[in-house]
Structure 1
Amino acid sequence: MPDIARTTISLRITGDALDPEEITRLLGIEPTRCTCKGDVRRIASGREVIAQVGSWVLSADTPDGLNAGIVALLGRLPDDPAVWRDLNESYRCDMFCGLFMQDSNEGAELQPQVLSMLGDRGLRLELDIYCCPD
């Protein structure tokens, strides 16, 4: 089975009382995007929406595939268990992966090392799978 054609990867941290500056300080890196609950932003269609929760998102390009992308993104962040414990106690934290298929039978697997890295940080794995257009 061929590999998934394209992937996107983002660490997402969300919560009602989320302060993006606090997350940036804890993780030592600027987010790709962030918002506080109640912020107004314009989406791609031009419509304005109000953020229902605060969010802090760090996204990464993944030209080398799912496993390498997750390892590279997590490699930019601290691995201190206390930091991740604090984040998980206060917020919802996950690794979001968009999987874009070019053909109808593509697949991906996560290596044990990657699963351990996610588990060590208490990160949920969320997969969105997009099928090829007809």
Structure 2
Amino acid sequence: MGLDEPKIIVALYLNGEHLDPESVTREIGVGPSRAQKKGERRVTSSGLEFLVKQGSWALSFELGSTSLDDHLARLIQSFPIGKPLSAIANVEDAYIDVFVALSSSLDGDAKCELDIEPDVLVSLAQLGLPIRITVNVVRE
């Protein structure tokens, strides 16, 4: 990642206490990047076992493009428009997460411009999801 090249990762998250990831996959016709069901046993990287407290279904993309518009358009193309994804059974929290990582100069300067075209915004609105954006700047 160079000074003028942000790293962008876009993901869709659907969460709910009783969310069934397999049911979500059947309903929207797209498999997740990650999923979990309430009550599943998981093990942390340090070896501790725990029970999952809520269901989760996530689909993420990391394209080579530095265009937020490209990432969002790719995500939108994955889903049939018509029914808001937040209206899927047992979804209590649904959102699109945008993560942007930037490198700063030695002076701490970093700049990135992100554009979203109107047609992409219209399609996002039809999905019925808010967008959460996180920007992380690291010094090289």
Give the TM-score range, shorter chain: 0.7 to 0.9
Gaps of 5+ in 2: 105-109
- Aligned position for 2:28: 27
1:52-101 CA-to-partner distances (Å, cap 9, x unmatched) read 321000111222221111111210211122x6363287432111111111
CA contact (8 A) 1:4 1:108 kept: no
Aligned length: 132
Change (3 A) 1:102 1:25: same
- Aligned position for 2:54: 53
CA contact (8 A) 2:19 2:90 kept: no
- Aligned position for 1:66: 68
CA contact (8 A) 1:3 1:108 kept: no
Change (3 A) 1:59 1:46: farther
Alignment of 1:109-120 (within 5 A): 109-120=115-126
- Tell me, in whole angstroms, the C-alpha distance in 2 between the residues paired with 1:108 and 1:115: 13
Q: Which amino acid aligns with 1:67?
A: D
1:20-66 CA-to-partner distances (Å, cap 9, x unmatched) read 11100011011111001232333455554543321000111222221
CA contact (8 A) 1:24 1:31 kept: yes
- Tell me, in whole angstroms, the C-alpha distance in 2 between the residues paired with 1:52 and 1:5: 34
How large is the RMSD of aligned CA atoms in angstroms? 2.4
- Aligned position for 2:131: 125
**TM-score by structure 1 length?**
0.83
Q: More helix by proportion, 1 or 2? A: 1
For the pair shown, the structure with the greater C-alpha radius of gyration is: 2
- Aligned position for 1:14: 15
Q: Which amino acid aligns with 1:24?
A: T
Determine what percentage of the aligned residue pairs are the same residue: 24
- Tell me, in whole angstroms, the C-alpha distance in 1 between the residues paired with 2:50 and 2:4: 36
Query: Which secondary structure does the structure 2 equivalent of 1:113 belong to?
Result: helix
Gaps of 5+ in 1: none
